[in-house]
Structure formats: C-alpha cells, structure tokens
Structure 1
Amino acid sequence: MDKKAENQGNQYEIHGDTMALLPIYQEYGELLTKVLEKHQTLVTSEKPKGVIQYNCRYYGSSYRGRKDGATAIMGYRKRAPIVISEHLGIFFIPLESPDNESCIWIAQAHVKQVKPTSPDTSDIIFSNDTFISVNQGKSALETKIHRATHYRFVLELRIKEKKTPYSRSFILP
C-alpha cells in the first residue's frame, strides 16, 4: 500500500534506500511521484523532476549544475546521470528525457539486473528483488546504467587522487 510522504513541506528527501521515482497521475490528472524505497512505497505531490531538483539543492548543488558537471566530465548531453550526493553515492538515471513528464528515474546503486521481456520492454530488478517494467530494451537500459556507473567511477577516482594529508599541501620546498 502506498503511503504519503511525510517530509518537511511534503518535499521528499532522497536517501540511500530510494530506488526509483515513478510518475503517476492522480484521479484528476495531477502529476505525482511514486517513490520506491527498499522497504516501502510512498507517494509525494511533487513531480519526479521536481523531486530530483529539490534534492540536488538539498545536497548543496543545483540540477543545472549537476547536469553541466556530467556534460563537462563525461560529455553526456542527453539523459545524463544526475549526482544527488557524491558523498552518499547517490546517482539517479533518467530513462528518457527529464523534460518529459513520463520520465522514470532509477537509482544506479539499486539496479541488480535488467531482464528483457520483449525487444522493446524490460524489467528492472532492484536490490530488494522487486521490479518495474519499462518500455525500453535491455541494451538501451544497460547503456544508461553503464554510463552512470562509469561517471560514478570517474568522480570517485578524482576524489581519491586529491586526497592527500592536509599538512603536505602547505610544506614549503
């Protein structure tokens, strides 16, 4: 059974158990977001892209900044994975243009497997063994997931390379 999101101001805060954001329409056509978490399902009155935008700001950036970062670092211009929090390792993948109201967002870390159900449809199996069916082929989905995984790897490498003992950066020759 779906629960209403009870966060501040009805703004949903993405966290490590958030697996997917699905667009759903209320009885009178209002676009809402069904949030799939590892142990529960919630509904929030925000649109899926609005949830992503709010959480980019919540974790200290902007949606535009996150999108521009993915383009600058990886060259991704369309359907770029969005870093919600690099510290928490939360990366979300839009399954179509984020400007489309029908765009589903999935958390890269929770995708366990993609199973084709036909040439143009697949099931995305999450870390808790639940799944959603989407109108995309396995190859297209796996490409998006691999892009997000590669982006995450590059960011983690950059952070790891820059980690030096604080005192070393101020020693004079």
Structure 2
Amino acid sequence: MVIQPIDTKERKYGGTRILKYKQQIEEVKDRTHKIIERSCRFYGSSYHFKKEDTIRITGIISKPPILFTPLFPTYFFPTHSDRKDENAWINIHYVQHIKRLKDRKCKITFVDEQTLNIDISAHSMRHQYLNAIYYYYMMDRAARIATFDPDAPIDYTKPQLNIYEALAKYSLFEHK
C-alpha cells in the first residue's frame, strides 16, 4: 500500500517502511527510490520510462504517478518530488480517506484501517491522489477503446485472459 522512506542509523532516509494490506509493517535497509526502480525493472522498464509514459499519456509533469504493470493495476503516486529523499509512494487502490491535520500535515486511512501521517497538506495529498486516478482512467479508457468495446472493461478474473486485451494496455507504452 505504501513505500515510505525512514531514517537508519547510518543515514537519514536510508531505509524504507513498507505497509502491506492487512500485514505487519516491514522495514528494509534499501532506499525508497531503489525499491521503486527495482520494481519498475521487474515489470520490464526503468523508472525513467514509466515516468515519461505517464507524462506522455496524461500531461502530468509535476510529481507524476507511475504504473508498474497494466496487467495488475498498481498505480502509485508520490507525496513529494522524486528528487526529494522524503518522497513516499502510495497505491491509489488502498486509500480510503485523507484527513487534514495541523501544520500542513495529513493523515491517510487505508481500506484495512491502517493509518499514516504524512508531512504534506491534505490539499496536496488529494491533488496527487486525483492525478493518479486520472492516470488510471486514461489507461482504462484507452484500453477499452483499443479492444473496440468502450462499454465493457477488461475482466482480469476470467479463466482465460484475452491476450489481445492485455496487449492493448501494453501498446499504450512506447519506448523512445
């Protein structure tokens, strides 16, 4: 649900806290950006290309969300610029509520009732969340049009996934 930088003994923001759905919080010694880059590469592309795809598809140039793979919608949005060490990444599908706190902070409640306080305003957090939802919508709409049936979403639970439907989503990405 969340990939958040944390301080280690050796370095400020040198580790990462990982919040998973209905699981204990996990902490690892890898930096957050390294985990994001490794995840992007696992799904066949670099972080840079994922970011450029988002910009091309949505026009969002400031703190763009990313999609690891269109087969299993994993849309994450950043809390800060990716050049900032304190940047955390949040999966849109688990956010239940964003609450304003004092001193330009906010509290995110996730669907499994876990919470997280973040050092950005609720307004900025909602803006980032809505950017990611917009990206999700643009990808879904393009895939529906590519499969020639805009009224019927791709059903990933079918016993046999139509390879054409899956490839339609991947075709939206082009490497330059």
TM-score class, shorter-chain normalisation, is 0.7 to 0.9
2:110 paired with 1:129: no
- Residue by residue over 1:23-72, the C-alpha shift from the partner in whole angstroms, topping out at 9 and shown as x without a partner, is 11212226011111011211222211111111111011211111101111
The amino acid across from 1:147 in the alignment is N
- Out of 92, 96, 100, the position equivalent to 1:116 is 100
The secondary structure found in structure 2 opposite 1:147 is helix
In structure 1, distance between residues paired with 2:70 and 2:97: 23
> For 2:30 and 2:101, how far apart are their aligned partners in 1?
30
Name the aligned partner's letter for residue 114 of structure 2.
T
The separation in 1 between residues aligned to 2:33 and 2:116, in whole angstroms, is 19
- Which deviates further from its counterpart, 22-31 or 148-157? 22-31
Deviations 1:100-155 (CA, angstroms, capped at 9, x unpaired)? 11111111111111011126111011111111111222111111101100110110
Q: Secondary structure of 1:85's partner? A: coil
* Length-normalised TM-score, structure 1: 0.80
Whether 1:72 and 2:56 are equivalent positions in the alignment is: yes
The match for 1:8 is: none
Indicate the RMSD between aligned Cα atoms, in angstroms. 1.6
**Uncovered stretches (5+) of structure 2, i.e. residues with no partner:** 149-161, 165-176
Count of residue correspondences: 148
User: How many angstroms apart in 2 are the aligned matches of 1:100 and 1:81?
Assistant: 15
TM-score of the pair, normalised by structure 2: 0.79
